[in-house]
Amino acid sequence: ETQIAISTMKKRNLILVLGVVLCTSLSAQPLKTKTIDNGGTGMFKAIAVKESGMPDFVIYRPNNLKRCEALPLLMFANGGCMDTSIGYERMLTEIASHGYIVMAIGEMQDKRFDRKEKQTPSSELKRGLDWIVQQNLNKNSDYYQKIDTARIGAAGHSCGGAQVLANAADTRLKTYLILNAGMGDMEMAGASKASLATMHGAALYIVGGPSDVAFVN
């Protein structure tokens, strides 16, 4: 009878442990993942992730976050202010593979135009940033203590660069990367020349020369 009782107890404990492991796995399971360019050339092989808590963004990050300490975060806004980063996924994967977490506006796509694409408001950048910073504090999240909140940057291409400038005053941002975008005397995506005065960190502008439609700006 004692042996039967011990055996039954062991089985119950095993079932309990398996249940805990299963629940933990399910709670941390992303909705979808995608591997681009074999994960990039950096030492941290990267994946693109669609998270259940923020399905209309893509997070490009090292595949094995358990190996990582807190990583710098880069928020990314797309050209045309569109809700897709598929045209930038190779670049963003490469960045992530060198030890960054990159969060880009727009739901994951398998290929271009496999869904309807639309423009997004500049507030999307802040919405994504608010969510990922909150995940950094959530003990049940894969991103718990994986974000170095002292090293957060924002990058954007063309109209996405204007979206970055529209959010430039956010004190959490420490640096800016502006790709083929500028204000000049125009206004776009809620940004204007006045937005430049709200920048409070280092900025890198990359332009395409006189043939770039944004060159004068």
The per-residue pLDDT of the chain, averaged, comes to 89
| Residue 175 β-bridge partners | 153, 202
What is the mean predicted confidence (pLDDT) over 81-109? 98
Q: In this structure, are residues 82 and 117 in contact, taking their beta carbons and an 8 Å threshold?
A: yes
Helix axes of 123-135 and 159-166: crossing angle, nearest 10 degrees = 70
Give the rounded percent of residues in the chain with a pLDDT score beyond 90: 77
Q: What pTM value is reported for the model? A: 0.85
What is the mean predicted confidence (pLDDT) over 9-15? 52
Task: Give pLDDT, residue 1.
Answer: 52
